[in-house]
Structure 1
Amino acid sequence: MTTAPADSTAIRFPEVPADFWEQAFLATDGCTRPAVLKVPDSSGHLFPMEDVLELGANIINAKDVSLNVDGTLLKNPVLPGTPPTTVAEFEQYLADLAAQNDAKAVTYTRDYCLRHSDRVALMTRSFISGFVDRRGIPAPGINVVYIAGHYQETWIGLHNDWCNTFLVPVHGRKKIMLWEPDYFTDAGLEEKAAFNGICFGHLDVSPYAADALVLEAKPGEILFIPENWWHYNQLPAAETSLALSIGIFSNGTPAAAAQPAIKAALQMPQFNQRAESHPRLPGGVLTSLTDVELPTDAEALLQAIRDSLTVHQLARSTSNGVIGGGGALREAPELTADSVLRGRADSPVILLQTGDGTGLLFALGAMSRQPNATHVTRLIEHLATGQPFRVEQTITHPEHALAVTALARSLYERGVAELVV
């Protein structure tokens, strides 16, 4: 059996060979050294140009964009009207952008860009899945930055990032000067806070050029930059480029990772009412804090925090830690009892049975309530195997057929189940 052939509008999952990540870890000395990697997909492209241009158009249309002209970030950017959808239009758009702002160098970017493209989010999860299998899901998550521009030097200047970065050129090239994390320790340069690290800003890097490692990546290649390595993009002259930067924030602390879940529990209405009076404890000798019985409301809060942490962990696991994406991607065919599906290891689906016949379904980092958990349990179990199965195998009773096929169709539309022929 094979996955059903894609039509012109179908999602293309990157085809990552089994040994790609082993080779990547060897080439980067365990993610501690910069390296240029070949795109693992047989097409030679990790992200199709048309999908990245569509992502850029969504960013522009949403006015969720940062514009930098000649090294200055504009507070209220004005962009040309129609976002580009072809390479030629992209080149012209940048030329119009420069002319409109009386600038030589222009760059427009968006951190957390995957909220604007479920397609690119799915491709990112598929590519990064092997890394997560080996290193685990980073506590702060995996962020992707959209970077488009016509410039000679990095728009924010010499800087580092607190994340491992896979820089993927989609159009044009990247030529990066790199220095080890402690290289500028005694240089006396003024540090400025950047979004994902520290920035020295625009300065003359020629005194440090002889010590730099210079790497160049073009479409079909991926430039890996380890966390905290200083880097600076410098070309002989201004060039046009379009790239996606995948940042894996492996340096998060447990406290930072737990904060969203704890905050969610603390905001529950039942924990924002006047607390009970706590009885005074008698004096004596304790051998363990477990000997102390906490007030009922405090115990309930602790359990709510634990539950919230667990829910967040389930959500992050089903998205591979990738921030953004998860909506409908494609139209599902008419599914029948004879339809053959399989789950995807890079997008697991988890069903939490709640004991009252309902359940919580986790997929692509989102949680939804399943009104009849027992009806769809076998479907989730079959998807988890990654092996092909007929829909009829997951229907335990005729009255469950509607719920099973509806959920199967939804999971197919969202890209976490595949139709097999």
Structure 2
Amino acid sequence: MTSHTPHGHATHTERARSVAGHAAAVAELLQPLRAADRIETLPLSRALGRGLVHDVAAPLSLPPFANSQMDGYAVRSGDIPGGSADLRVMPPVPAGSSPQALQPGTAAPIMTGAMIPAGADAVVPIEMAVPDHFMEPGRGRAVELPATTPGRFVRAAGSDIAEGERALAAGTCLGPAQLGLLAALGLPEVAVYRAPTVLLVTTGDEVVEPGRPLPPGRIYDSNGTLLEAAMKQAGLTVRRAGISTDAPAELRALLRTECRGVDLIVTTGGVSKGAYEVVRQAMADQPVDFLHVAMQPGGPQGIGTFDGVPFLGFPGNPVSCLVSFEMFLRPALSALLGAPAPRLPVRARLDLDGQGRPLTSPVHKHQVRRGSLQPDGTVQLVGGESSHLMHALAGSNVLVHVPAGVTELAAGDEVEVWML
């Protein structure tokens, strides 16, 4: 975090902070979320989307015993030395049973997933047998089976994971597959980080709650719904405090009333250099820096603490505040807590058909554009550079990244995109 200047304002001579530098500052601010007293043990049914605290070693092998990959006959491969052989049929081996050892010259009907009998080393699928259906065991009954090789259609014990191996690494975001693995290992619960609680405040005299009359010169608040949905999707617990006016004293009073028990305060609007920047004014006596990040959109940012509670101030334009969340808050939580899962970065080629000109970007800024990733691996830009285009944002499925130093991209150029 930058050094604090009087009244919490960054100096006018300060250069714009890099995206990486601000991301690191946000991660440092939120470091207390990793404290030991924030760890909780939950049953698997309640751990979806949480971050794993510790490495998990497999307490047993998967599968725990050699089992059949097919419905068929468990055999000793050495009993079928040539093209085929007639083997006496033994009692069947259903899944979940503990079979008797297989005697030489015999074949045991076996179901998928059932334990391989001692002495057997292969399975012949039922469709390769003559007859190609299971028979009732009885004196003298035999089945003709083709030659096979040791290990054929047998799932070896530990072929998925061996006892003692690391099953999941600390910091893993627990999705359905990860929770399924823990269940398969017989683990009923898991240690995870507690989901942070965020106080979300929209600011501005010009902003009106959706559903109310819209006077001239006013706009409906989209930021509150936009960020609340993004935060909840990321696994955060969100507390909405409504819309604050542009009176600094009222905002301070609102924050002090609502911030009890929250882990982070996030505001939207009032962080730039205009005449009525209520968040800047309300934080005048707090250790908060207001600075510019070399990013477009989302350059103006606030970071610090309010009455000891971590604070982030996002810009007021809708696209800017969502980009701020995606670039700074979401990645910090992913790195610190393992949840939410990081956005998946993929490479795509620009499709600029219909635009008629290349994509341009300021040389010293990291530009984030909205785009639509197509099935053929190309990405089409949606909307322009402006940060108020909600309709364009709603039609996007990726964020398109143009790093600082890149000033122009043509059709067919490769770019990094983050899946939304």
More strand by share: 2
Return the index of the structure with the highest Cα Rg: 2
Q: TM-score, normalised by structure 2?
A: 0.24
More helix by share: 1
